[in-house]
Amino acid sequence: METPTRTGRLGRFFTGFGSLFHGLAVTSRHFGRTIFLRKNVTQQYPHEKPTLPKAYRSAIRLIRFPETDSHDCVGCKACERICPSACIAVDGGKVEGIKKKRASHFEMDFALCSLCGLCLDVCPTTTLEYSRLYDEAGYNRNWKHDLLAEFRAREPAFIAEQRQREQAEAEAKAQKAPKKEKPPKEGDAP
């Protein structure tokens, strides 16, 4: 950079000094606005609970469907396979007396989960959703959660109800079936 002349230097001093005051004017305006006009944005956390957005992502849980009052996990292991952090362990299979498969084990390690939501995407029965937990903390390395825990007690009752539902469905199907089979036969014949 060229060395400025004496008058140049003086000019620069004044423009420089002026620029500081221009900046100060901006900060004072903000200061005034903050003091008089602005609402408090700080949330008093333990006393106020945060409002979570609709899309908020937290540890997954099984949806309790109102029709069955239970989850709909069939233990297909799709979520276990897609999970990039390998933090889901699912087991399940045939249950005596009903056609539907049921999960017998659904364990998840919250400490490893990165909340990517791929398990929600691949679930064939859409029985997974994000919970609304936001202040979870783990106290040891094995932070496993049994997602089926809240459904265990109701499971025998669910199976009994499911058997009735399936029977009713089968009867309805048996009644409908002969009617359905006739029209294509007639159409095919000529």
Q: Both tokens of residue 104?
A: 């017998």
Quote the DSSP letter at residue 40.
P
Provide the phi-psi class of 97: left if phi over 0, else alpha when psi is between -120 and 50, else beta: left
Instruction: Out of 4, 8, 23, 138, name the contact with another protein by CB under 8 A.
Output: 23
Least distance from C-beta 94 to another protein, angstroms? Answer: 24
Query: Does residue 177 interact with another protein by CB under 8 A?
Result: no
Instruction: Give the residues across from 62 on adjacent strands.
Output: 128
The CA radius of gyration of the chain, in Å to the nearest whole number, is 32
Distance CA 145, CA 139 (A): 13
* Pairing state between β 60-62 and 88-94: unpaired
Query: Does residue 117 interact with another protein by CB under 8 A?
Result: yes
Query: Does residue 3 interact with another protein by CB under 8 A?
Result: no
Query: Does residue 143 interact with another protein by CB under 8 A?
Result: no
Identify which of residues 78 and 95 has a Cβ nearer to another protein in the complex: 78
Query: Does residue 11 interact with another protein by CB under 8 A?
Result: no
Residue 47-76 contact track with another protein, rule CB under 8 A, x = bound: ------xxxxx-------------------
Identify which of residues 38 and 173 has a Cβ nearer to another protein in the complex: 38
Instruction: Out of 3, 16, 40, 178, name the contact with another protein by CB under 8 A.
Output: 16
- Check if the beta carbon of residue 118 is closer than 8 Å to that of residue 161: no
The separation between CA 28 and the C-alpha centre of its own chain, rounded to angstroms, equals: 43
Instruction: Out of 76, 82, 111, 159, name the contact with another protein by CB under 8 A.
Output: 82
Least distance from C-beta 132 to another protein, angstroms? Answer: 11
Q: b/e map of 70-102 (b: 16 or more CB within 10 Å)?
A: bbbbbbbebbbeebeeebbebebeebeebeeeb
Stretch that binds another protein, among 61-69, 100-108, 113-121, 144-152 (CB under 8 A): 113-121
Which spans of this chain sit near another protein (rule: CB under 8 A)? 1, 12, 15-17, 19-20, 22-23, 25-27, 30, 53-57, 82-84, 114-118, 121-122, 130
